[in-house]
Structure 1
Amino acid sequence: MKKLFQSYFESFGGLRKEIWLLSLITLINRAGTMVIPFLSLYLTKSRGFSLEEVGWILSFFGLGSVTGSWLGGKLTDKIGHYRTMALSLILSSVLFVLLQFPESFWSICLGIYLVMTVADIFRPAVFVAISAYSKPQNRTRSVTLIRLAINLGFSAGPALGGLIIATGGYSGLFWVDGLTCLAAGILLLKLLHPKRSNPEPEDIIIRAKSAISDKLYMIFILAMIIFGFIFIQYFSTMPLFYAEHHKLDEFEIGLLLGLNGLFIFLFEMPLIKFLESKEHSATGYVILGTLLTGFSFLVINLTDWVGILVVGMLLATIGEMIGFPFSNSFALNRSDGKKRGSYMALYSIAFSVSHIFGHNSGMQLIDNFGFEFTWYVMLGLAIFACALLLLLKGLLKRETVI
């Protein structure tokens, strides 16, 4: 047991202090964004909007995320990751507080759009910061540590948010969100100085092309949109399957979804350290992660045994644990010596696009064709994404030879 614990803690070794500080800032920021999980409840219960109106408001949420990711990439290439992150955190703190005051449908749509635009400016910048502060050989594990901070933040945030609503109402959420964003911004300014990063050669960056002109990278981005489209079903349509097909109650569904976060917390970093020690390409691991996620939809169609839901969740979680860190690592490595902000912006936008179309499309498929057909569609999409990644892998080999 002692060796097991020692091996676990060793998997976190070798990461620079700045990466740990960046993880702390990300943890505080993500734990603070507790308005987001309660947004639908706030809009229906506190503001009295219909489900159709809430659906449109959430579309502006996704559009703001896309705009923010694009703008974040542009700003990162222009003014650097440090200033971009600070700008996002400090402006977000003000906008989160102000978001409680709009009352009409269109003013809330605009408010949500502005908040998400400013908040998601942070995403490409933090990816670039990972590259700037980490050693090249530790990039994937650095990404994994940031993911761990995000997962912990999203786990703590809703629990704290529920307590705040119970004691002080929804208004308290907006104030806490604003204050935590401000706290994260102050920590960034105080602890994470840009002089500690590894600067890119300026002459290379000036002459470099943007990500959109990199045809191989665009194949990768298309595969990531599909991967994201598939994976987010576990947090929108899959709970409906648990409830309607398997008759699970909210507590049991919560336990299944919680298994995802617990498994990631316990095993992702050791798993990534183990996989990094093997001589396989990042694209190969992303293919494996995508396949495992696709197979998770296949297995739940094979039997009505309720235990298969745990198997499916574990397959999807392992797929996520492998697919996301190595895809992020591929994007960072592909952007070496190029306009890194534009590369990481496209990577972030891929998952924003998945959110815009994935939830609604999954719901429509289930409504028209049922759960079984929908899960086979997800498996088919996973296979298509793997085909794109195999094509990419072959083209990358030819590029290296040339």
Structure 2
Amino acid sequence: MQILKSYTNSFKGLSQEVWMLSVVMLINRSGSMVLPFLGVYMTDYLRFSLESAGLVLSFYGIGSVLGSWLGGYLTDKFGEYYIQSWSLFLSAPIFLIIPFFPSVEMMAVLIFLQSTISDTFRPANSVAITKYAKPQNLTKAFSLNRMAVNLGFSIGPALGGILSGISYNFLFIVNAIAALSAGVIYVIFFRKRNTIFQKQKKMLPVETFTEKGRSPYRDFPFLFYSLLCTVFAICFFQFFNTIPLFYKEAAKLSQSTIGFVLGYSGFIIVLLEMPLVSIAERTLKMHQVLFAGIILSGLSYLLLVLGSSIPLLVLSMTILSVGEIWALPFMSTVTAMRAGLGSKGAYMGLNGIAFSFSFIITPFLGTYIVSHFGFDVLWYGSFTVLLITAFLIFRIVKRMFVKTYDQ
């Protein structure tokens, strides 16, 4: 009973708007079953080589980089409401036409276009969270949003595993329906609120909304921090690329079992994220939480060297999920705290770019290492890189917020 009370208390103080942003994210991500199965779809159904599949997945990353930059720029210029709306509505038809172009070249073009449109959503959504959340609840708001993402990812891959067993085309259809549904719900709920906000904005002094911080591209400590986020993401987002391939080729799991193991990660995050974030906020400083999260992520990959039994895969995924909980929402909070009022879109966009670069590098690098050296080398290398990253990010974040910690 005490645990349940502690769990419910972790949600207190979050506004209706923050909850609705998470609901929209949940609906959208529940349909996001294409990406985890895209590598398997291309190698198993389209008969692409590992290198060709990795190349196409890298174009997803290129589009993600462009979309993150574009989303940040357009959000500062036009506001997060319009960018989120158009991103959701425009991404739906792209999903529907992907199955009709099964060549490597056309898959690369369409995946690039889809990821560019879809990822303009992310910086706009992050700015919306900072807009509707109270400063003291900012990490909780990011965590709730991420919890919605992961609940969606627990539903999506599990359902995707079932649907792909019938026909891979269902993956693209359901993804399109989810994006369209999320767009409709978002517009219905936020259209009036955005109109009211714009009217209130016009009544305030112009200087209230002018940029009060430097450009993120001239903020050198933040640039180094973003580079470290990229390195972390390159290792972490093997979750979407080489881990499903490892499950398929080394562990010999069926598609439905792969979906359930990936979906288990989302279940763990939904169950534990808010309590673990609350504990971390009370007991640790920002740089300490990030250090712990990155170290745990590295240990989860090191475990995979020991074998590919189901219990070991579940243990590894559990540790990776806890590491994710103590890394990703706090990385977003660092970005939001560093940004000025008029440059939040640019900062969130740059943070998105840092993660998007991983979608370019991870698929190609991961599949190349596996093809030439095997999975064990990949897991040892990921652990080593994450260990170094943990120490560096500990130092830079502590330096960025040293005045805050001393108060």
Fold agreement, TM-score > 0.5: yes
Amino acid at match of 1:19: V
Question: CA–CA distance in 1 between the matches of 2:374 and 2:43?
Answer: 27
Instruction: Give the Å deviation of 1:104.
Output: 5.0
Question: CA–CA distance in 2 between the matches of 1:248 and 1:172?
Answer: 23
Q: Percent identity between the aligned chains?
A: 37
Matched, 1:353 2:351: no
* SS of equivalent to 1:260: helix
Instruction: Give the Å deviation of 1:170.
Output: 4.8
Partner residue in 2 for 1:119: 118
Structure 2 counterpart of 1:183, from 181, 184, 189 = 181
Question: CA–CA distance in 2 between the matches of 1:238 and 1:97?
Answer: 26
Question: CA–CA distance in 2 between the matches of 1:267 and 1:384?
Answer: 27
Unaligned runs of 5+ in 2: none
When residues 49 and 235 of structure 1 are mapped into structure 2, their CA distance, relative to the original with a 3 A threshold, is closer
Structure 2 counterpart of 1:220, from 219, 222, 225 = 225
Instruction: Give the Å deviation of 1:310.
Output: 4.5
Equivalences for residues 150-229 of structure 1 within 5 A = 150-161=149-160, 169-192=167-190, 193-194=193-194, 195=196, 202-203=206-207, 205-206=210-211, 208-229=213-234
Whether contact under 8 Å (1:283, 1:389) holds in the other structure is: yes
When residues 356 and 53 of structure 1 are mapped into structure 2, their CA distance, relative to the original with a 3 A threshold, is same
TM-score where L is the length of structure 2: 0.85
Whether contact under 8 Å (2:64, 2:359) holds in the other structure is: no
CA deviations over 1:139-168 (Å, ceiling 9, x no partner): 11111111111112122223444555667x
Matched, 1:283 2:287: yes
Amino acid at match of 1:109: A
Aligned length: 396
CA deviations over 1:302-336 (Å, ceiling 9, x no partner): x5695555443333221111011111111111114
When residues 394 and 290 of structure 1 are mapped into structure 2, their CA distance, relative to the original with a 3 A threshold, is same
Instruction: Give the Å deviation of 1:293.
Output: 1.6
Equivalences for residues 3-402 of structure 1 within 5 A = 3-40=2-39, 42-43=41-42, 51-102=50-101, 104-161=103-160, 169-192=167-190, 193-194=193-194, 195=196, 202-203=206-207, 205-206=210-211, 208-238=213-243, 247=251, 249-250=253-254, 256-278=261-283, 280-299=284-303, 301=305, 309-396=313-400
Question: CA–CA distance in 2 between the matches of 1:330 and 1:52?
Answer: 36
CA deviations over 1:106-129 (Å, ceiling 9, x no partner): 333322211111111101111111
Instruction: Give the Å deviation of 1:221.
Output: 0.6
Unaligned runs of 5+ in 1: none
Question: CA–CA distance in 2 between the matches of 1:235 and 1:92?
Answer: 20
Amino acid at match of 1:275: A
When residues 305 and 50 of structure 1 are mapped into structure 2, their CA distance, relative to the original with a 3 A threshold, is closer
CA RMSD for the aligned pairs? 3.1
